[in-house]
Amino acid sequence: MGHDLVIRGGRVVTGGAVVEADIGITEGRIAALGHGFDGAEVVRAEGLLATPGGVDPHCHIEQMSGMGLMNADTFETATRSAAMGGTTSVISFAAQAKGQRLSDAVADYATRAARGAAVDHAFHISVSDPSVPAFEDDLRALIAAGHRSIKVFTTYNIKLEDADILGILRIAGEAGALTCIHAENDAIIGAARARLLAEGRTRPIDHAASRPREAEIEAVARMCRLAEVTRAPVMIFHVSTAEAVAEIAAARARGAPIWAETCPHYLFQTEDVLDRPGTEGAKWMCSPPQRTKADQAALWAGLAAGHLQIVSSDHAPYRFDETGKFSNGRDAPFPAIANGMPGLEPRLPLMFDAMVSGGRLGPAGFARLTAEAPAALYGLPGKGRIAPGYDADLVLWDMGRAVTYGADDLHDNVGYNPWEGTTVTGWPVATYLRGQAVMREGDYLGQPGAGRWLMRAGIGTRPADIMGTSR
């Protein structure tokens, strides 16, 4: 029997190995891996490597920040950018405004995503105000409806107190949801910021000193203990320091249900990116800030050891102008400059360059950190692997093609590329979403609204039995 589509003659990352196989695709799913398949459409993939479509579980899309600033990307532009870089599933945030019911926040984001998203998507329920009416009932109902992750902050003006985080963890643990935490100690940051401003240190580079590593270390350690006492699963977002990796490793060794991610900007950039002339460094401002080479080595070691399981983008798009980074003026001091940079599109190429071309953890490790582990940990059973029964979400890579990023060559709506001048070896030449090409040879073929909302399965205290992540 013929398939709808056969990807013929390539090498395929599957089951922790690289094999030569045709991929037979029927009705949007992978039907078989093997040889000699017929298909209504046949794509020649000799010399190419097929990896699972990227699953990016941490991206800010069409979201209002805590500072009241809208992201530069809509669902349409962010998911276009995702597809161009090989990512086929995103989990962004349904951000509760203070005073807003959770159910209203999720309905608002879901409506906009259904209209604009060109790749498959889900939401973290981002909590800023647990005092609103029906908070607990709404949270339980949303989790039961398939929104199986929650986001809380220990800093910013949307910070929650430990007592509130404990309450949310108890509900999430019982109801089968994963709680994701931005973990930095707010008091340490507040004191450092006040001291710097008093000294007249207001430039983007001073942002790094305003978020001392101890702020992350303390909050990560504390959140690990909250997970331990509630037995509720926790995902520590964007780990940046060696000491935080050690805290997570120790908590996991004690049996705490802790998982963690880091991002390309912590693996490949150091704090000196912030120290460009004038306000140029604002392009790279994010929280936590980039750290040191020693931290990069510790993050890689943490990924290799399985203490950290995921590399996400933390795509947080703001233009380098008055609509974004400089919404408070061109000379705004660092606390008034929006945090974040675009990352949805370059995440896979940067990681492919390091891991597949550069040999760090290899093709199977690349597939695990960028697709398989996020799909497993966030309850996306049909995503993240090239195997029969899974959605036919694939990326085809030209392994020999070297590309140097330019100033404005991403397909988001941000207008600058924080990786300008970086050369990657290995380039995505086609992206398939459920068997449909959404990118081919640099041409975007996606359709706004074609992405599906992903109802997610329950998440237990042992979210996934995948290499290096289960306890």
- Give dist(CA 297, CA 293) in Å, integer: 6
Backbone angles phi, psi at 216, to 5 degrees: -70, -45
- Closer to Zn ion at the Cβ: 82 or 395? 82
81 binds, among Zn ion, ligand DUC, none (CB under 5 to 8 A by kind): none
Please state, as a whole number, how many other Cβ atoms lie within 10 Å of the Cβ of residue 292.
Answer: 15
Q: What is the sign, positive or negative, of the torsion defined by CA atoms of 296, 298, 301, 302?
A: negative
- Closer to ligand DUC at the Cβ: 210 or 287? 287
- Per-residue contact string for residues 70-109; x = within reach of Zn ion by CB under 5 A: ----------------------------------------
- Give dist(CA 57, CA 374) in Å, integer: 6
Q: Minimal distance in Å, beta carbon 378 to ligand DUC? A: 18
Q: Minimal distance in Å, beta carbon 333 to ligand DUC? A: 17
- Closer to ligand DUC at the Cβ: 103 or 313? 313
Contact 428, 348 (CB under 8 A): yes
Binding site for ligand DUC (CB under 6 A): 60, 182, 286-287, 314, 316, 339-340
- Closer to ligand DUC at the Cβ: 56 or 391? 56
- Closer to ligand DUC at the Cβ: 96 or 431? 96
- Closer to Zn ion at the Cβ: 22 or 184? 184
Could you say which DSSP state residue 357 is in?
I
286 binds, among Zn ion, ligand DUC, none (CB under 5 to 8 A by kind): ligand DUC
Residue 186: name the closest of 221, 157, 227 by CA.
157
| Secondary structure class of 440 (helix, strand, coil) | strand
Q: Which of 80, 124, 147, 182 binds Zn ion (CB under 5 A)?
A: 182
DSSP 153-217: ESSSTT---HHHHHHHHHHHHHHT-EEEEE---HHHHHHHHHHHHHTT--SHHHHHHHS-HHHHH
Q: Minimal distance in Å, beta carbon 88 to Zn ion? A: 20
- Give dist(CA 334, CA 279) in Å, integer: 9
Q: Minimal distance in Å, beta carbon 441 to ligand DUC? A: 32
Q: Minimal distance in Å, beta carbon 266 to ligand DUC? A: 11
- Per-residue contact string for residues 279-318; x = within reach of Zn ion by CB under 5 A: -----------------------------------x----
Q: Minimal distance in Å, beta carbon 147 to Zn ion? A: 17
Q: Which two structure tokens, joined as six digits, stand for 23?
A: 């991929």
Contact 83, 431 (CB under 8 A): yes
Q: Minimal distance in Å, beta carbon 58 to ligand DUC? A: 9
Q: Minimal distance in Å, beta carbon 318 to Zn ion? A: 12
410 binds, among Zn ion, ligand DUC, none (CB under 5 to 8 A by kind): none
Contact 333, 322 (CB under 8 A): no
Q: Minimal distance in Å, beta carbon 240 to ligand DUC? A: 10
Q: Which two structure tokens, joined as six digits, stand for 443?
A: 């041409």
Q: Which stretch binds Zn ion (CB under 5 A): 70-78, 136-144, 178-186, 198-206?
A: 178-186
- Closer to ligand DUC at the Cβ: 43 or 72? 72
Backbone angles phi, psi at 268, to 5 degrees: -125, -10
Interface with Zn ion (CB under 5 A), residue total 2
| Secondary structure class of 468 (helix, strand, coil) | coil
Q: Minimal distance in Å, beta carbon 275 to ligand DUC? A: 17
- Burial of residue 58 (CB within 10 Å: 0-12, 13-18, 19+) is buried
Contact 40, 4 (CB under 8 A): yes
- Closer to Zn ion at the Cβ: 138 or 314? 314
For Zn ion, the nearest residue by Cβ is 182
- Give dist(CA 35, CA 162) in Å, integer: 56
Q: Which two structure tokens, joined as six digits, stand for 448?
A: 């706004």
339 binds, among Zn ion, ligand DUC, none (CB under 5 to 8 A by kind): ligand DUC
Please state, as a whole number, how many other Cβ atoms lie within 10 Å of the Cβ of residue 277.
Answer: 6
- Give dist(CA 37, CA 4) in Å, integer: 10
- Closer to ligand DUC at the Cβ: 101 or 222? 222
- Closer to Zn ion at the Cβ: 5 or 414? 414
The residues with which 122 forms a beta bridge, in sequence order, are: 91
434 touches Zn ion (CB under 5 A): no
Residue 301: name the closest of 263, 271, 352, 267 by CA.
267
Residues at the interface with Zn ion (CB under 5 A): 182, 314
